[in-house]
Amino acid sequence: MSWDGFWHLHSILLPHISSAIDESSGYERKGGRDSGRYSLPPIPNGPITTSIRLGAALRYFAGGSPYDIMCMFGIAYSEVLSSAWIVVDARKIAAGFEAVSTPGIRNCAGAIDGILIWIQKPSLKKTKKAGVDHKKFLCGRKHKYSLNCQAVSDCQGCIIDISIKYGGASSDCMAFEASDLHKWLKNGLLHQDAPSNNERFVLFGDNAYLNSFTNVGGDPNRAAEDNYNFFHLQLRIWVECALECWCRDEGF
Protein backbone atom coordinates (compact mmCIF):
# COMPACT_ATOMS: atom_id res chain seq x y z
CA MET A 1 0.00 0.00 0.00
CA SER A 2 1.31 3.45 -0.90
CA TRP A 3 1.68 6.30 1.60
CA ASP A 4 -1.17 8.23 0.00
CA GLY A 5 -3.30 5.08 -0.15
CA PHE A 6 -2.81 4.46 3.56
CA TRP A 7 -3.90 7.96 4.56
CA HIS A 8 -6.85 7.82 2.19
CA LEU A 9 -7.99 4.58 3.85
CA HIS A 10 -7.34 6.17 7.27
CA SER A 11 -9.58 9.14 6.42
CA ILE A 12 -12.39 6.76 5.42
CA LEU A 13 -12.11 4.58 8.53
CA LEU A 14 -11.32 7.32 11.05
CA PRO A 15 -14.92 7.81 12.33
CA HIS A 16 -15.36 4.04 12.76
CA ILE A 17 -11.98 3.57 14.46
CA SER A 18 -12.59 6.46 16.84
CA SER A 19 -16.04 5.21 17.87
CA ALA A 20 -14.76 1.62 18.23
CA ILE A 21 -11.95 2.83 20.52
CA ASP A 22 -14.49 4.65 22.71
CA GLU A 23 -16.79 1.63 22.88
CA SER A 24 -14.01 -0.83 23.68
CA SER A 25 -12.43 1.35 26.37
CA GLY A 26 -15.43 1.25 28.70
CA TYR A 27 -14.51 4.73 29.92
CA GLU A 28 -17.34 7.13 30.73
CA ARG A 29 -16.55 10.65 29.57
CA LYS A 30 -17.03 13.19 32.33
CA GLY A 31 -16.43 16.84 33.04
CA GLY A 32 -18.36 19.90 31.87
CA ARG A 33 -21.81 20.31 30.43
CA ASP A 34 -20.54 20.52 26.87
CA SER A 35 -20.30 17.05 25.34
CA GLY A 36 -16.97 18.07 23.85
CA ARG A 37 -15.43 18.77 27.29
CA TYR A 38 -14.29 15.76 29.30
CA SER A 39 -11.27 14.37 31.10
CA LEU A 40 -9.42 11.44 29.59
CA PRO A 41 -7.92 8.76 31.86
CA PRO A 42 -4.17 9.09 32.37
CA ILE A 43 -2.02 7.18 29.84
CA PRO A 44 1.62 6.88 31.01
CA ASN A 45 3.11 6.51 27.52
CA GLY A 46 0.53 8.59 25.68
CA PRO A 47 -2.48 7.45 23.65
CA ILE A 48 -2.21 5.07 20.70
CA THR A 49 -3.12 7.12 17.64
CA THR A 50 -5.70 5.97 15.11
CA SER A 51 -3.03 5.78 12.41
CA ILE A 52 -0.97 3.36 14.54
CA ARG A 53 -4.11 1.31 15.19
CA LEU A 54 -4.77 1.04 11.47
CA GLY A 55 -1.12 0.39 10.59
CA ALA A 56 -0.83 -2.40 13.18
CA ALA A 57 -4.08 -3.97 11.98
CA LEU A 58 -3.04 -3.93 8.32
CA ARG A 59 0.34 -5.45 9.16
CA TYR A 60 -1.41 -8.13 11.22
CA PHE A 61 -3.86 -8.91 8.39
CA ALA A 62 -0.88 -9.26 6.03
CA GLY A 63 0.44 -12.10 8.17
CA GLY A 64 2.77 -10.23 10.52
CA SER A 65 3.54 -11.70 13.95
CA PRO A 66 2.02 -9.72 16.85
CA TYR A 67 5.42 -9.85 18.58
CA ASP A 68 7.11 -8.18 15.61
CA ILE A 69 4.30 -5.65 15.24
CA MET A 70 4.41 -4.65 18.92
CA CYS A 71 8.11 -3.81 18.54
CA MET A 72 7.57 -2.04 15.22
CA PHE A 73 4.85 0.26 16.55
CA GLY A 74 5.91 0.41 20.20
CA ILE A 75 2.66 -0.96 21.62
CA ALA A 76 1.75 -3.93 23.83
CA TYR A 77 1.03 -7.39 22.41
CA SER A 78 -2.60 -7.14 23.53
CA GLU A 79 -2.94 -3.79 21.77
CA VAL A 80 -1.95 -5.39 18.45
CA LEU A 81 -4.93 -7.74 18.71
CA SER A 82 -7.17 -4.96 19.99
CA SER A 83 -6.18 -2.81 17.01
CA ALA A 84 -7.14 -5.61 14.60
CA TRP A 85 -10.61 -5.88 16.06
CA ILE A 86 -11.03 -2.14 16.44
CA VAL A 87 -10.70 -2.03 12.66
CA VAL A 88 -12.85 -5.14 12.06
CA ASP A 89 -15.05 -4.62 15.15
CA ALA A 90 -16.15 -8.14 16.12
CA ARG A 91 -18.55 -6.74 18.69
CA LYS A 92 -20.76 -5.10 16.07
CA ILE A 93 -20.78 -8.26 13.98
CA ALA A 94 -21.67 -10.32 17.07
CA ALA A 95 -24.43 -7.86 18.00
CA GLY A 96 -25.93 -8.31 14.55
CA PHE A 97 -25.99 -12.09 14.92
CA GLU A 98 -27.45 -11.73 18.41
CA ALA A 99 -30.33 -9.69 16.99
CA VAL A 100 -31.29 -12.47 14.54
CA SER A 101 -30.72 -15.30 17.03
CA THR A 102 -33.84 -16.55 18.81
CA PRO A 103 -32.01 -17.40 22.08
CA GLY A 104 -29.79 -14.32 21.76
CA ILE A 105 -26.41 -15.96 21.06
CA ARG A 106 -23.84 -13.23 21.75
CA ASN A 107 -20.46 -14.61 20.71
CA CYS A 108 -20.81 -15.28 16.96
CA ALA A 109 -18.32 -13.09 15.08
CA GLY A 110 -18.99 -14.64 11.66
CA ALA A 111 -20.56 -17.55 9.80
CA ILE A 112 -18.23 -19.75 7.74
CA ASP A 113 -18.88 -22.22 4.94
CA GLY A 114 -17.18 -23.68 1.90
CA ILE A 115 -18.35 -23.76 -1.70
CA LEU A 116 -16.94 -25.52 -4.76
CA ILE A 117 -16.07 -23.34 -7.73
CA TRP A 118 -16.25 -25.45 -10.88
CA ILE A 119 -13.23 -25.39 -13.22
CA GLN A 120 -12.11 -27.31 -16.26
CA LYS A 121 -9.64 -30.14 -15.76
CA PRO A 122 -6.27 -28.47 -15.13
CA SER A 123 -3.42 -29.25 -17.49
CA LEU A 124 -0.33 -31.16 -16.39
CA LYS A 125 1.65 -27.94 -16.63
CA LYS A 126 -0.67 -26.15 -14.22
CA THR A 127 -0.83 -29.05 -11.76
CA LYS A 128 2.96 -29.29 -11.78
CA LYS A 129 3.14 -25.58 -10.99
CA ALA A 130 0.64 -26.08 -8.16
CA GLY A 131 2.73 -28.96 -6.83
CA VAL A 132 -0.15 -31.48 -6.72
CA ASP A 133 -1.76 -34.09 -8.95
CA HIS A 134 -4.82 -33.10 -11.00
CA LYS A 135 -6.91 -35.47 -8.85
CA LYS A 136 -6.55 -33.00 -5.98
CA PHE A 137 -8.91 -30.74 -7.95
CA LEU A 138 -11.51 -33.47 -8.50
CA CYS A 139 -14.47 -33.55 -6.11
CA GLY A 140 -15.43 -37.22 -5.77
CA ARG A 141 -18.89 -36.38 -4.47
CA LYS A 142 -19.79 -34.11 -7.39
CA HIS A 143 -17.50 -35.74 -9.99
CA LYS A 144 -16.33 -32.31 -11.16
CA TYR A 145 -13.06 -30.42 -11.08
CA SER A 146 -13.24 -27.48 -8.72
CA LEU A 147 -11.61 -25.17 -6.19
CA ASN A 148 -12.59 -25.12 -2.53
CA CYS A 149 -13.63 -21.58 -1.60
CA GLN A 150 -13.89 -20.71 2.09
CA ALA A 151 -15.97 -17.66 2.99
CA VAL A 152 -17.05 -15.86 6.18
CA SER A 153 -20.03 -13.51 6.28
CA ASP A 154 -21.82 -11.29 8.76
CA CYS A 155 -25.53 -11.53 9.60
CA GLN A 156 -26.47 -9.46 6.55
CA GLY A 157 -24.73 -11.73 4.07
CA CYS A 158 -21.73 -9.45 3.51
CA ILE A 159 -18.56 -11.47 2.87
CA ILE A 160 -15.87 -10.35 5.33
CA ASP A 161 -13.21 -12.96 4.49
CA ILE A 162 -12.58 -15.32 1.58
CA SER A 163 -9.85 -17.86 0.76
CA ILE A 164 -9.30 -20.13 -2.26
CA LYS A 165 -6.15 -22.18 -1.73
CA TYR A 166 -7.12 -25.85 -2.12
CA GLY A 167 -8.67 -28.02 -4.81
CA GLY A 168 -12.11 -29.58 -4.67
CA ALA A 169 -10.83 -32.88 -3.26
CA SER A 170 -10.00 -31.14 0.04
CA SER A 171 -12.40 -31.04 2.95
CA ASP A 172 -13.75 -27.73 4.22
CA CYS A 173 -11.86 -28.17 7.48
CA MET A 174 -8.52 -28.69 5.71
CA ALA A 175 -9.13 -25.81 3.31
CA PHE A 176 -9.97 -23.56 6.25
CA GLU A 177 -6.78 -24.56 8.08
CA ALA A 178 -4.78 -23.42 5.03
CA SER A 179 -6.35 -19.95 5.06
CA ASP A 180 -4.75 -16.80 6.43
CA LEU A 181 -7.79 -16.35 8.67
CA HIS A 182 -7.07 -19.64 10.43
CA LYS A 183 -3.50 -18.47 11.10
CA TRP A 184 -4.78 -15.16 12.48
CA LEU A 185 -7.22 -16.99 14.73
CA LYS A 186 -4.43 -19.18 16.11
CA ASN A 187 -2.45 -16.00 16.78
CA GLY A 188 -5.32 -14.65 18.86
CA LEU A 189 -7.49 -12.66 16.44
CA LEU A 190 -10.68 -13.45 18.38
CA HIS A 191 -9.12 -13.52 21.84
CA GLN A 192 -11.53 -10.93 23.15
CA ASP A 193 -14.35 -11.64 25.54
CA ALA A 194 -17.92 -11.52 24.27
CA PRO A 195 -20.26 -9.10 26.09
CA SER A 196 -21.26 -11.61 28.78
CA ASN A 197 -20.16 -14.73 30.65
CA ASN A 198 -16.52 -14.29 29.55
CA GLU A 199 -17.22 -16.18 26.34
CA ARG A 200 -14.78 -15.76 23.47
CA PHE A 201 -15.93 -14.69 20.04
CA VAL A 202 -16.14 -17.63 17.62
CA LEU A 203 -17.07 -18.52 14.04
CA PHE A 204 -20.14 -20.65 13.36
CA GLY A 205 -19.89 -23.35 10.68
CA ASP A 206 -21.49 -26.68 9.81
CA ASN A 207 -20.25 -30.05 11.02
CA ALA A 208 -17.33 -29.95 8.56
CA TYR A 209 -15.73 -27.57 11.09
CA LEU A 210 -16.70 -29.72 14.10
CA ASN A 211 -19.09 -27.04 15.40
CA SER A 212 -22.25 -29.10 15.91
CA PHE A 213 -23.53 -32.43 17.22
CA THR A 214 -24.27 -35.40 14.94
CA ASN A 215 -27.05 -38.00 14.98
CA VAL A 216 -29.15 -36.26 17.63
CA GLY A 217 -32.39 -35.66 15.67
CA GLY A 218 -35.36 -37.47 17.19
CA ASP A 219 -33.42 -38.71 20.23
CA PRO A 220 -35.35 -37.56 23.36
CA ASN A 221 -32.24 -38.05 25.49
CA ARG A 222 -30.31 -35.52 23.37
CA ALA A 223 -32.98 -32.85 22.99
CA ALA A 224 -30.65 -30.11 24.28
CA GLU A 225 -28.04 -30.98 21.66
CA ASP A 226 -30.70 -31.08 18.94
CA ASN A 227 -31.90 -27.60 20.00
CA TYR A 228 -28.31 -26.36 19.92
CA ASN A 229 -27.97 -27.61 16.34
CA PHE A 230 -31.16 -25.80 15.34
CA PHE A 231 -30.12 -22.43 16.75
CA HIS A 232 -26.58 -22.95 15.47
CA LEU A 233 -28.02 -23.43 11.98
CA GLN A 234 -30.10 -20.28 12.43
CA LEU A 235 -26.86 -18.25 12.39
CA ARG A 236 -24.61 -20.13 10.01
CA ILE A 237 -27.29 -20.18 7.31
CA TRP A 238 -26.46 -16.53 6.59
CA VAL A 239 -23.20 -17.39 4.88
CA GLU A 240 -24.92 -20.17 2.90
CA CYS A 241 -27.48 -17.64 1.62
CA ALA A 242 -24.70 -15.17 0.81
CA LEU A 243 -22.80 -17.76 -1.23
CA GLU A 244 -25.95 -18.85 -3.04
CA CYS A 245 -26.70 -15.24 -4.05
CA TRP A 246 -23.08 -14.73 -5.11
CA CYS A 247 -23.14 -17.84 -7.32
CA ARG A 248 -26.43 -16.79 -8.88
CA ASP A 249 -25.11 -13.31 -9.65
CA GLU A 250 -21.89 -14.73 -11.11
CA GLY A 251 -23.73 -17.36 -13.15
CA PHE A 252 -22.16 -20.40 -11.47
Tens of pLDDT, residue by residue over 134-189, are: 889 999 888 899 999 999 999 988 888 889 989 999 999 999 999 988 888 887 77
Question: Do residues 178 and 172 touch, judged by C-beta distance below 8 A?
Answer: no
pLDDT for position 169 = 93
pLDDT for position 29 = 55
> Where among 68, 88, 108 does a domain terminate?
88
Whether residues 147 and 68 share a domain: the answer is: no
The radius of gyration computed from the CA coordinates of the chain, to the nearest angstrom, equals: 21
> Where among 45, 72, 88 does a domain terminate?
88
Question: Do residues 114 and 148 touch, judged by C-beta distance below 8 A?
Answer: yes
The rounded mean pLDDT for the chain is 84
Boundaries of domain holding 30? 3-88
Indicate if the pLDDT at residue 121 is higher than 80: yes
Indicate if the pLDDT at residue 35 is higher than 60: no
Range 69-98 burial, b when 16+ CB lie within 10 A, else e: bbeebebeeebbbbbbbbbbbbbebbebbb
Range 144-183 burial, b when 16+ CB lie within 10 A, else e: ebbbbbbbbbbbebeebbebebbbbbbebeebbbebebbe
Count of domains forming the chain: 2
Give the residue among 153, 148, 155, 192 at the shortest CA–CA distance from 170. Answer: 148
- What pTM value is reported for the model? 0.71
Indicate if the pLDDT at residue 215 is higher than 90: no
Binning pLDDT at 50, 70 and 90, where does residue 69 land? very high
Give the residue among 96, 114, 83, 113 at the shortest CA–CA distance from 203. Answer: 113
> Where among 72, 88, 104 does a domain terminate?
88
Whether residues 181 and 126 share a domain: the answer is: yes
